[in-house]
């Protein structure tokens, strides 16, 4: 497995509880533009080496901060 694939799995697993299923979490990962990232999806950010920023965003949302 590549590092990119591992990071993708980490992110999807982290958000799965909020979406209820892995399929819905993957849909979010692939298609939902993240606020503050110029319309980029989590997938696009991970593929450009910015997985840590996606994880930071998720943690900020989880802690009640809105990115």
pLDDT in tens, 21-62: 999 999 999 999 999 999 999 999 999 999 999 999 999 999
Which residue did the predictor score with more confidence, 1 or 61? 61
**Closest residue by Cα to residue 18 from 67, 65, 66, 61:** 61
- At 19, the pLDDT band (50, 70, 90 cuts) reads very high
Q: Which residue has the tokens 């533009």?
A: 33
Total-model pTM? 0.89
Cβ count near 34 (within 10 Å) = 19
């Amino acid at each position: 497995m590549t590092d990119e694939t591992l990071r993708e799995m980490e992110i999807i697993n982290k958000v799965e509880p909020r979406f209820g299923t892995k399929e819905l979490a993957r849909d979010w990962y692939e298609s939902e533009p993240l606020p503050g990232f110029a319309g980029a999806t989590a997938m696009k950010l991970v593929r450009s080496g910015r997985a840590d920023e996606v994880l930071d965003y998720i943690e900020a949302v989880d802690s009640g901060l809105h990115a």
